[in-house]
Amino acid sequence: MADAQTDRREDHDRRALRELGQAVRSRRAQLGLTLSQVAERSGLSAPFLSQVETSFAAPSLVSLFAIARVLDTTPERLLAGPVSAEVVVTPRGEGQRYAVTDAARGAFRRQLTGLGEPFSAAEYVVAPGSDLGGVFSSAGREMIHVTTGRLIVEIETGDGRFTAHHLAAGDTMVYSTDARHRWRHLGDSTTKFVHVSVPG
């Protein structure tokens, strides 16, 4: 039974990686950009981008943000695979996983929804001391619901400073992603939260 589940997860992961590569390649072609141009503008190497497009490498979310910025889209749009049915169930432990950063000790994101949905939903698992990346912003709104542990969401105010919002298990926060924001793990236990975003 365990072997069958492992095989199913590996098949799903390969398919999700292939769909991500196709999404990046399709968007790049739509904009008429070469790999070299995307590499230069994103700060990533052309060989690495080629591996992403051909499904030989899975970028971290930080790298994906850089790619998405150049391609004038969002990481959520690139990560989400196609909707395969009217009703889609993602069992516990399934859904493509992506490292949030390239750090040795990093959090990971598990994609829960497909491309045809009007929103993107993912689960984040953050071990103590994990890197959650830097400061991000994009048009839209997002919701965070903490299921386990504690998290700090910092939103930049008009004067360039950040206001910290402390979230514990059961807390939910909704905010505009137009404002620059960042996340930080808090405490000495693993934090899990559900992230739902709607692009602007």
Polymer length in residues for the chain: 200
| 1 vs 70: which has the higher pLDDT | 70
Instruction: Judge whether 139 and 177 are in contact, CB under 8 Å.
Output: yes
Q: How much is the average pLDDT of 189-195?
A: 95
Lowest mean pLDDT among 80-89, 126-135, 166-175, 190-199: 80-89
Instruction: Judge whether 23 and 78 are in contact, CB under 8 Å.
Output: yes
Q: Hey, where are the domains in the chain?
A: 2-79, 97-199
Report pLDDT digits (tens) over 10-41: 665 677 788 888 889 988 999 999 999 999 99
Please state, for a pLDDT cut of 90, what percent of the chain lies above it: 39
Model pLDDT, residue 10 = 60
CA nearest to 119, candidates 135, 140, 101, 137: 140
Confidence of residue 6 (pLDDT cuts 50, 70, 90): low
Model pLDDT, residue 95 = 74
Identify the CATH assignment for 97-199 out of 2.60.40.10, 2.60.120.10, 3.40.50.2300, 1.10.150.20: 2.60.120.10
Model pLDDT, residue 169 = 96
Element (H or E) spanning 10, and its range? helix 2-31
- CATH tag, 2-79: 1.10.260.40
CA nearest to 60, candidates 28, 95, 105: 105
Q: Report d(CA 46, CA 54) in Å as an integer.
A: 12
Model pLDDT, residue 83 = 53
Q: Report d(CA 24, CA 142) in Å as an integer.
A: 23
Q: Report d(CA 23, CA 31) in Å as an integer.
A: 12
pTM over 0.75: no
Report pLDDT digits (tens) over 101-116: 877 777 888 888 876 6
Report pLDDT digits (tens) over 122-158: 999 999 988 888 888 888 899 999 999 999 999 998 7
Model pLDDT, residue 184 = 92
Confidence of residue 84 (pLDDT cuts 50, 70, 90): low
pLDDT beyond 90 at 4: no
Model pLDDT, residue 12 = 59
